[in-house]
Amino acid sequence: MKVLVLNGPNLGRLGLREPGIYGSATHADLAATCVETGKELGIDVEVRQTDHEGEMVGWLHEAADAGWPVVLNAAAWTHYSIAVRDAAAQLKAPLIELHISNVHKREAFRHHSVLSDIATAVIAGLGVDGYPLALRWMAANAA
Domains of the chain (ranges; CATH) run 2-141 (3.40.50.9100)
101 is in an annotated binding site: yes
pLDDT at residue 108 in the model? 79
pLDDT at residue 110 in the model? 74
24 is in an annotated binding site: no
7 is in an annotated binding site: no
pTM for this entry: 0.94
Give every residue of the chain whose pLDDT is below 50, as ranges.
Answer: none
pLDDT at residue 54 in the model? 98
H-helix segments, the chain: 19-22, 27-41, 53-66, 82-88, 130-141
What is the Cα 115 distance to its own chain's centre? 11
Closest CA to 2 of 43, 39, 35: 43
136 is in an annotated binding site: no
pLDDT at residue 17 in the model? 81
- Active site (catalytic) residues: 22, 99
73 is in an annotated binding site: yes
Closest CA to 40 of 126, 135, 130, 123: 135
